[in-house]
Amino acid sequence: MSDVIRVLLADDHPVVRRGLKATIEDDEHLQVIAEAADGNDALRLIEEIRPAVAILDIDMPGLNGLGVAREVTQRSLKTRIIFMTFHADEDLMRAAMDVGGKGYLLKGSETEEVCAAIHAVNAGRTYIGSTMAAVLLNQKAETAGSTSLNLKVLTLTEKKVLRLIADGLSSKEIGDELGIHYRTVENHRTNMCRKLEIEGANALARFALQHRAALHERLY
């Protein structure tokens, strides 16, 4: 079937791989084509068989998951990376995305969410698991009281852009959605960072995730 998404699994625990494979192959549009027990083997297989999506544990013998993703990015391989880990840590998630990760799931995620993540990143979107998103919100609970104040400094268009950033869309996709040039979207990003007194695209994406619910509630 030409529409089947080919997936590689990399985790040093065979039981985890077995359960994840069964979960993924419940979806007729997904197929696990290879498995690896360490990062070096995972990278070799990605380069040899070019899966559409690779699900990587972060803690693996040899080259860890972050190292695999970094090499995939540096070698311009097309495989999109989803990290699946026990680490519910914002800084680690940020590092995972910085090296080229497109998805971040916590182990124990529901079957539907694992499959949804694969479909999302295969389509070019970013996917943060709901459990991880909840952790991010809880970690930033002390800033919740300032949410309204922060969002009030943004224009309606900036709020729309920020909502779409939280949904994982790229600047080009946001431009297409709003009917504006992608460079205009980049200008909005710059202006929002200035108004919110935050630095960098990753910081803006984190802010968008933290306030995703408020953005959706106030725009609709």
Encoded amino acid at 177, one letter: E
* pLDDT at residue number 220: 47
Q: Do residues 129 and 117 lie in contact, with contact meaning Cβ atoms separated by under 8 Å?
A: yes
* pLDDT at residue number 126: 92
| pLDDT of 166 higher than 50 | yes
Average the pLDDT over 75-88 and give the result.
94
* pLDDT at residue number 92: 81
* pLDDT at residue number 140: 56
DSSP per residue, the chain? -TTPEEEEEE-S-HHHHHHHHHHHTTSTTEEEEEEESSHHHHHHHHHHH--SEEEE-SS-SSS-HHHHHHHHHHTT---EEEEEES---HHHHHHHHHTTEEEEEETT--HHHHHHHHHHHHTT--EE-HHHHHHHHHHTGGGGGGHHHHHHTS-HHHHHHHHHHHTT--HHHHHHHHTS-HHHHHHHHHHHHHHHT--SHHHHHHHHHHTHHHHHHHH-
* pLDDT at residue number 38: 94
* pLDDT at residue number 98: 87
* pLDDT at residue number 170: 82
Q: Do residues 39 and 61 lie in contact, with contact meaning Cβ atoms separated by under 8 Å?
A: yes
For residue range 60-78, list pLDDT tens digits in order.
Answer: 988 899 999 999 999 999 9
For residue 52, which of 18, 9, 97 has the smallest C-alpha distance?
9
For residue range 134-152, list pLDDT tens digits in order.
Answer: 777 665 554 555 555 578 8
| pLDDT of 7 higher than 60 | yes
* pLDDT at residue number 22: 93
Per-residue confidence band for 5, with pLDDT thresholds at 50, 70 and 90: very high
For residue range 15-46, list pLDDT tens digits in order.
Answer: 999 999 999 999 999 999 999 999 999 999 99
